[in-house]
Amino acid sequence: MAKTVDFDLLKKIDNVDLSKRNKQWKKAMKAAGWRVSADRERWTVKSWRETEGEDIQIRRAKLLKCVLENIEINIHPFDEIVGRPTPWVIGCQTAIDVCGDYIPGIWEEAGSIDATLDASVNMSKEDVEILRESARLFGSTSLPAMTYKAWEALVGSWAKDAEAAKLKDPSLDSAITGQSTSVLSWKKLLKVGLNGYTNECRRHIEAYKAAGGTDIDKIYFWQSAIIVLQAVIDHAHRYADLAEAMASAEKDDRQKAHLLKIAETCRHVPANPARNMREALQSMQFCNLAKMLENPIQNNCHWGRADQYLYEFFKNDLENGVPLEELSSMLADLIGRWGTQTFISSSTQKESHQINFGINNLMVGGLGQNGEDCSNELSYLFLHLVASLQLSSPTVGLRWNKKTPYWMMKKAMETNLATKGGIPLFENDEVIISSFVRDGIPFEEAVEWVGLGCVYPCLPSRAEHYGAEGVAAFNLAGVLHLTLHNGMDINGKQSGLKTGDPREFKSFEELYAAFLKQHKHLSHRIFWLGGVARDMGHKYLRLPLLSILGIEASMELGQDLLKPHPDYSMFGISDRGIIDVADSLTSIKKLVYDEKTISMDELLEILDSDFAGDRGEEIRQLCLRAPKYGNDIPEADSMVKRISEDSAAIIKSYDNSLFRNFMISREGLAWHYYGGLGAGALPNGRKAYEPLNDGSLSPMRGMDKCGPTAVLRSACNVCFNKVAYVSVLNQKFSSSTLASDDSINKLIAYTNVYMNNGGSHIQYNILDSKQLKDAKERPENYSDLIVRIGGFSAYFVQLSPEIQDDVIYRSEFSL
């Protein structure tokens, strides 16, 4: 049966405001600038030198232990929950021991490093030298460096050439490993505490010895887990000590009591099971913090289905007299903390992500084990607090299904109105669950899926490798560029096959066959090299904390996640740029082969000139007027469907034995900016290097001229849900869309219709183009303006000019 919802509690939640502490934090956060700490690198270098000669599993455990014992900590007056990677309100550590020499600017004498695409951070000479010393020690033997050497031995410079041409991503210095971007085992962690994990490790060690086991790596794994688990507990006790010291000097009685409560909480968790909401949230923070400090570049703080595993704590606290306002203040603290966690990324990751806030995903609602919708009062509170905080993160995903209650949808739309930038997004529970089941996952496991990063669905019970080993996406627009240039990429390198000069193709089918050959060559080579990286990973890196808290199977296997196991590893890929390619091929078929309006020779010459001159603009207008996806035109939609199915067939034809085949997820990020740098002018009328179409199902900006429902019909016509778990559709509506309950109800109905007809994902920017143009001209007046990019939201003024224009010139609809 569905849960009985307390509607009186929902009304009380509607009236909850951010607490005084929350508001103090928000003010301090806004005033805080970018800061980067070299503190972690100081201690990683020290530990690595001290443990030379020991097994890598133990060395990595001792490295994290040294970091947690020594990094500077702080408690701020407004903290409800304590624990940050740096003592500052906003700040980040670096990950040279994991990524290698990945930070742009540390070898220059400018005294700063690049933090984002357009912002730098000043660092002292002493701190820069600490980073350099770490790069000298770890750079040449890091996992990325050693993997690139292996790839070079196999394919020469091809892998780096393909990355430079934006044909694939991510680059290895993103340091994504299995499960590093996914959710921790929150339900078990809160139930047993870290002492429970430690005791389990000890039992495994004794049992393995008693059985005469000979794989010493298993013993080393369980020993490494014990080391890091105790290190996290000791780190919490450092905060308890600090809180007690601060309390002894505190004059204000209320603040003194608050500090003593913090100390008491940090003494109990994460060592022991959480007994209430405060302890649950504090335990989560310490564990996520330690995960970040183990690999700071992958600082994703994923909540998973928090409205489910935290619900009992929430209800029990309310029944025991804890005020709703107190619970809300604690929850808002952690939402804000995780939503403003920064990191320093590599150059390529800046291009594909645009932002340097760790993407964290929070799921609400969705089906449960009994097949009923699980939306509850805590789901509602999460939405309310996200609306009140008005931050660009977390990425909130509402798991839509036919049983999603109206009150949940209405609160979601009101949250979208408050944030404006696509928060929450809507994902189709039924499509995603059925996709997992179609691929052999039992329903009871599939129903617990959660979001990874933006929208990618993953299973908490299995180690997710999406993005790991350098395999996340390949660029079909770049593949079309290869096809039109006989295998030459945007940088003039022979990255593709020599499939022939398109001028000599006698038919559209010859051109299309060449495109598929280029696709298979690129994608299968990426998968192959990913497999090589997968086999190498454990030789140069181990992540014992992520392993033991990431998936429960690691405990039984006695095996670090860097040694993937066929029974517990999942692999995903995103075939990007399908709409750009389909519209381009539709133009070629119509203009060159069917109507013979222009020759292939003339088209290629014009494309290579980027539509230069009067004739170039004339042909560009012909390309723009050709049928476009998003207008419910069968000719255009059928081309999208054809490419979608053929691309999926190529992906599925790759033999990933002994592991599962790659699952297809067509998501967002700001990848269309990154991917656009890998394609010259396209026959759909797009100019060279401009961003591609956003998301994966969104029409070419400005070309969806028949209204929003035509877009939905096109999206349903192409049937991406038959081959892909999720496909991102962005839409932009004017602010008046949600100006009344009637308009909110229209958008709810609009969403329900799309999902009921097989749509897997949709999200809304509630913005006016006029306002966006003004924000680009006067950014100082719009520091809080949030927009939806591809699969995530960001502050408009922090985006590149190209992505700002992309959002501005998307079609703006009303209902």
Query: Do residues 679 and 812 both lie within one domain?
Result: no
Contact (CB, 8 A) for 75 and 259:
yes
Q: Is residue 116 included in any domain, yes or no?
A: no
Residues 6+ apart with CB under 8 A from 708: 731, 733, 750, 813, 815
pLDDT of residue 602: 97
- pLDDT (mean) for 361-366: 96
Q: Determine which helix (DSSP H) or strand (DSSP E) holds 113, and give its type and residue range.
A: strand 112-114
Conformation bin of residue 371: beta by default, left when phi > 0, alpha when psi is -120 to 50: left
Query: Do residues 502 and 564 both lie within one domain?
Result: yes
Contact (CB, 8 A) for 629 and 693:
no
Q: Is the pLDDT of residue 40 over 60?
A: yes
Q: Is residue 85 included in any domain, yes or no?
A: no
CA–CA gap between residue 188 and residue 5 (Å, rounded):
26
- H-only helix segments in 180-320: 186-210, 216-249, 253-268, 277-294, 306-309, 311-319
pLDDT band at 792 (very low <50, low <70, confident <90, very high): low
Q: Which residues pair with 641 in a beta bridge?
A: none
Q: Is the pLDDT of residue 782 over 90?
A: no
Residue type, 62: K
Query: Do residues 666 and 680 both lie within one domain?
Result: yes
pLDDT of residue 353: 63
Out of 87-91, 124-128, 415-419, 804-808, pick the least confident.
804-808
Q: What is the pLDDT of residues 578-631, one digit of tens each?
A: 999 999 999 999 999 999 999 999 999 999 999 999 999 999 999 999 999 999
Considering the chain, what percentage of its residues have pLDDT values greater than 70? 97
pLDDT band at 420 (very low <50, low <70, confident <90, very high): confident
Q: Is the pLDDT of residue 670 over 80?
A: no
Q: Which residues pair with 326 in a beta bridge?
A: none
pLDDT of residue 219: 98
Q: What is the pLDDT of residues 48-59, one digit of tens each?
A: 999 999 999 999
Q: Is the pLDDT of residue 351 over 70?
A: no
- pLDDT (mean) for 783-798: 76
- The count of domains in the chain is 2
CA–CA gap between residue 203 and residue 415 (Å, rounded):
47
Burial 609-622, CB ≥16 within 10 A → b, else e: eebeeeebeebbeb
Residue 679, domain extent: 468-543+560-727
pLDDT of residue 783: 83
Q: Is the pLDDT of residue 154 over 90?
A: yes
pLDDT of residue 548: 97
Tokens standing for 386? 């996200």
Query: Do residues 714 and 761 both lie within one domain?
Result: no
Q: Is residue 419 included in any domain, yes or no?
A: no
DSSP assignment of 490-512: TTS---S-----GGG--SHHHHH
Q: Is residue 483 included in any domain, yes or no?
A: yes
Query: Do residues 668 and 701 both lie within one domain?
Result: yes
Q: Is the pLDDT of residue 640 over 60?
A: yes
CA–CA gap between residue 594 and residue 605 (Å, rounded):
20
pLDDT of residue 766: 87
- pLDDT (mean) for 308-315: 98
Query: Do residues 526 and 621 both lie within one domain?
Result: yes
Q: Is residue 485 included in any domain, yes or no?
A: yes
Residues 6+ apart with CB under 8 A from 260: 243, 244, 247
Query: Do residues 665 and 520 both lie within one domain?
Result: yes
Query: Do residues 631 and 501 both lie within one domain?
Result: yes
Intra-chain end-to-end CA distance of the chain, in Å: 35
Considering the chain, what percentage of its residues have pLDDT values greater than 90? 80
Q: What is the pLDDT of residues 166-221, one digit of tens each?
A: 999 999 988 888 888 889 999 999 999 999 999 999 999 999 999 999 999 999 99
Contact (CB, 8 A) for 386 and 396:
yes
Give Cα separations from 617 to 96, 592, 612, 729, 806 (angstroms).
Answer: 48, 17, 7, 30, 21
Query: Do residues 530 and 635 both lie within one domain?
Result: yes
pLDDT of residue 212: 98
Query: Do residues 784 and 705 both lie within one domain?
Result: no
CA–CA gap between residue 187 and residue 2 (Å, rounded):
21
Q: Is residue 244 included in any domain, yes or no?
A: no
- pLDDT (mean) for 743-749: 93
pLDDT of residue 145: 95
pLDDT band at 2 (very low <50, low <70, confident <90, very high): low
Q: Is the pLDDT of residue 755 over 60?
A: yes
pLDDT of residue 594: 98
Query: Do residues 697 and 771 both lie within one domain?
Result: no
Q: What is the pLDDT of residues 224-241, one digit of tens each?
A: 999 999 999 999 999 999
Closest C-alpha among 648, 637, 508 to residue 585: 508
Q: Is residue 405 included in any domain, yes or no?
A: no
Query: Do residues 640 and 691 both lie within one domain?
Result: yes
pLDDT band at 112 (very low <50, low <70, confident <90, very high): confident
pLDDT of residue 162: 97
- pLDDT (mean) for 705-719: 95
Phi, psi of 663 (to 5 degrees): -90, 150
Closest C-alpha among 620, 571, 586, 520 to residue 718: 586
pLDDT of residue 354: 57
pLDDT of residue 108: 86
pLDDT band at 98 (very low <50, low <70, confident <90, very high): very high
pLDDT of residue 241: 98
